[in-house]
Structure 1
């Protein structure tokens, strides 16, 4: 801050600032600090970036200092010649609290409220040790008559603040009391610099350059302003209070008029509010209806989409199943066609073979020889043909029996007859039916034809029964 505002009771802060303003970020020690704002010597320095330590035994002001100066050290204790517990007298609502019982009684007699407390008591040596290393640029002692005890407790510490400010009058009087403690201060290496009517200023012999700055009282050249809490602004504060009271009356009148207007406006506002609520209710209903319709529409669209997807899925499934069925049917038909083609090919081959056989038969000599017989057979009635067969059968049997019994004749006739397969088969079947092969066993070796292949013999039921009896009899007789 560039503007100087004095918050101290007797302009102590302006005098100190004149001497120490060239110090950047200085430190201070305020014993008996009281309020952080009203009659405060340290506030001007705090606003200009300085930081320090406050000693204040009164709980009210100690708490207020911690709130307003959170980054500074606040020691809630009293300072005296020795350490221990001090009977401390709080003069409520003032900066007159003291450890001197006689002074406290004077204040009580004057009408002040006095509370007795028990507070820790330490020496100035202990406080200076708490401050820590580094210079202390000013030390203020304002303990309402106990200044001598504070100075007497400064024995061992080598710390020497640059400037001392010590209250040197009896509380609420102009009676000076510095003769009680000044010799001890001078003995510690300090020189008296200035008396402002309330406090005495001393400069350390290590900083004699500060003496000239402390030689004169605050003046117009210090270019400072007063805080609103200063006692020198009492008349201004009274006028301000009167003006404020007048303003409050006017404000009350305005507020009364405002109340009347407000009542009318409130009725209008209530009506407008009721109309707005109706409109909001209708809008809400319309909005809910729109949401419901939108939800129904969305549901319908969703159902249609799902139905469409299901229809597509079902159609794809049907197409897939039908395609599989058609593929299977096509495969079956293809296989059947292939099988039919192969069967047709086989029948065609059989047909070709039959045609060849037929051609061979028709071109054979036996076919030519038997042509008259076939012609005769076609011309004879079936009954006459049957009677002829029955008449010729005994003759044929006798001829076969003779041939089979005559090996030489069999060898001559068999090749000739085998050239006519039809005739050969009929004669062979007739011989088998009449069991002519069994009767001619002695000549069996001479017959070298298919008649000995029993698996290909053409026998009727009676012949098969006879043949089975013969086989059984041979087994029972032990004939291999």
Structure 2
């Protein structure tokens, strides 16, 4: 993929493409995929012929996603460290949906104009288990994580000895590198053998230092 048009919120797909020009598997895993085209970090790769596994806990986005991206495996599920169920807090704009009750409460205070929908209980599964069932390649190119505050749980649920992405984009929402380095999830990813190589303010990028 090499393009100058971005579908992402802050050109994350263009940044990712710089590190993935020679995609080995041309395969991505998108956790918290939400929209199939607009604001997607993976649609540019799909448009270039790639395919992948796309996960979202919101049942309302699954069928439109499947229709827009038929090559992808699209699964309605939450992702966490242990199998079970969690309450999924939903809003009129699904980009704000979250499993984090504190984050949901803050959003209601800060953005009272955003409609609040009824919460639903959603099945949670470890990412390793999901990727095994979906026949994911063990060495794939791109892992994108945007789960509104539970990124650390997603990382913890993946066995990096079995499945190892070359590049990770993780939602961090910070103003500068100093703030990014202070986040626990950044240290968690670096401890797995990844190097922080870029950020947009919304997402941070990590390249596998072992390749």
Shorter chain as denominator, the TM-score bin is 0.7 to 0.9
2:163 corresponds to which of 159, 164, 175:
159
Aligned mate of 1:202, from 195, 202, 206: 206
Whole-Å separation in 2 of the counterparts to 1:17 and 1:2: 6
Is 2:13 aligned against 1:13? yes
Shift of 1:169: 2.3
Cα 1:157/1:125, change in 2 over 3 Å: farther
Please give the alpha-carbon distance, in whole angstroms, between the structure 1 residues aligned to 2:130 and 2:140: 12
Does the residue aligned with 1:193 lie in a helix, a strand or coil?
A: strand
Does the CA-based 8 Å contact 2:169-2:203 persist in structure 1?
A: yes
1:45 Cα deviation after fit: 0.6
Contact 1:128 1:157 in 2 (8 A): no
Is contact 1:90–1:97 with CA below 8 Å preserved after alignment?
yes
Q: 1:178, 1:50 → 2: CA distance?
A: 34
Alignment root-mean-square deviation, CA:
2.2
Residue 117 of structure 1 deviates from its aligned partner by: 0.8
Residue of structure 2 equivalent to 1:309: none
- Structure-2 residue corresponding to 1:116: 119
SS at match of 2:207: strand
Q: Which runs of 5+ in 1 are unaligned?
A: 208-480
Q: Which residue of 2 aligns with 1:137?
A: 141
1:401-427: CA deviation from partner (whole Å, max 9, x where unpaired) = xxxxxxxxxxxxxxxxxxxxxxxxxxx
Runs of 4+ in 1 over 6 A off after TM superposition: none
Give the match for residue 46 of structure 1: 46
CA contact under 8 A between 2:81 and 2:126: conserved in structure 1? yes
Bigger proportion of residues as strand? 2
Separation in 1, partners of 2:168, 2:106: 28
Secondary structure at 1:98's aligned position in 2? coil
Larger % of helix: which?
1
CA distance in 1, matches of 2:49, 2:158: 28
- Equivalent residue for 1:128, pick from 128, 131, 153: 131
Match 1:189 to one of 188, 193, 197: 193
The 3-state SS of whatever aligns with 1:181 is helix
| d(CA) in 2 for partners of 1:185, 1:86 | 24
- CA contact under 8 A between 1:25 and 1:49: conserved in structure 2? no
> Hey, what does 1:365 align to over in structure 2?
none
Q: Report the Cα distance in structure 2 between the residues aligned to 1:178 and 1:86, rounded to whole angstroms.
A: 28
* Bigger shift: residues 20-29 or 48-57: 20-29
Q: TM-score, normalised by structure 1?
A: 0.40
Q: Check the 8 A contact 1:168/1:178 in 2, yes or no.
A: no
* Cα drift, residue 58 of structure 1: 0.8
Report what 2:183 is aligned to.
179
Q: Which has the higher contact order (CA 8 A, sep 6+)?
A: 2
TM-score, normalisation: structure 2? 0.87
**Partner of 1:7: helix, strand, or coil?**
coil
Structure 2 CA distance for partners of 1:156 and 1:12, relative to 1, 3 Å: closer
| Structure 1 residue 28 corresponds to structure 2 residue 28 | yes
